[in-house]
Amino acid sequence: MSRQFLIMLSAGLLVIGVALYSTISVNQKHLLTLEGSITDVRISELTPESTLVILDFTAMNPSKVRFEVKEVGVERTDGTPLRGDLLSKAETVRFLEYAKLPMPNPTIGVGDRVQGGETVKRMIAARFDTPAAGLQTATYRIGFLDYNNVAAKVEGKK
C-alpha cells in the first residue's frame, strides 16, 4: 500500500468518525426523558390498613425539549410490587395543611412542565392499601408519561 493511500484512508475515517460523533451528540440533546432521584420519603398512617406516602424528588430534563406531564404514577418496587392511588395537587396541599406537615416543594401533576435543561424539586403523594410498617425504607418508582408518549422514571429510596 502506498503512503498516499494510507493518508487518504486515515483522513476519510476521521471525517466519518467526526460525523458520527456529532450526529449522536446532537440527537442525545433531543432525546426526551427525565432523570432524578427521590430525596425524602414521608409516611402518614391514615388507618391501620392504609398509609399515605409523600415523596420529595428532584427531576432533571437533560434534553433541549420540554417535558409535559400527561400521566404520573407511584409504585413500590421492592418486595411485592404495589401501585399507589395518587392524590391530586389540591388534596395533597389540604392534607399537609391539616396534618401540619411541612411542604418544602410544590406538588407535581398533569400538565406540569419541565423545560429542557431544567432541574426541579417537586413532591407527590400516594395512598397505599397496606400498613405503614416497612414503607419508610421501601424503594419507590415515580413514572411519568409525556404528551408525546415518552415514558420516564425517577426511582430510589431515602
Kindly report the CA angle at 32 between 27 and 34, in degrees rounded to 5? 130
Q: What is the SS3 assignment for 147? A: coil
> Residue 79 carries which DSSP code?
S
Question: Are 151 and 64 spatial neighbours (Cβ–Cβ below 8 Å)?
Answer: no
Nearest to 51 by CA among 140, 134, 141, 154: 134
pLDDT digits (tens, 9 = 90+) for 8-66: 888 888 888 887 777 666 555 557 788 899 999 999 999 999 999 999 999 999 888 88
Per-residue pLDDT band at 125 (split at 50, 70, 90): very high
pLDDT, one tens digit per residue, over 65-103 is: 889 999 999 999 887 788 999 999 999 999 999 999 899
Q: Side chain identity at 118, as an amino acid letter?
A: E
Say how far apart CA 60 and CA 117 lie, in whole Å: 7
Rounded to two decimals, the pTM is 0.78
Distance CA 115, CA 92 (A): 24
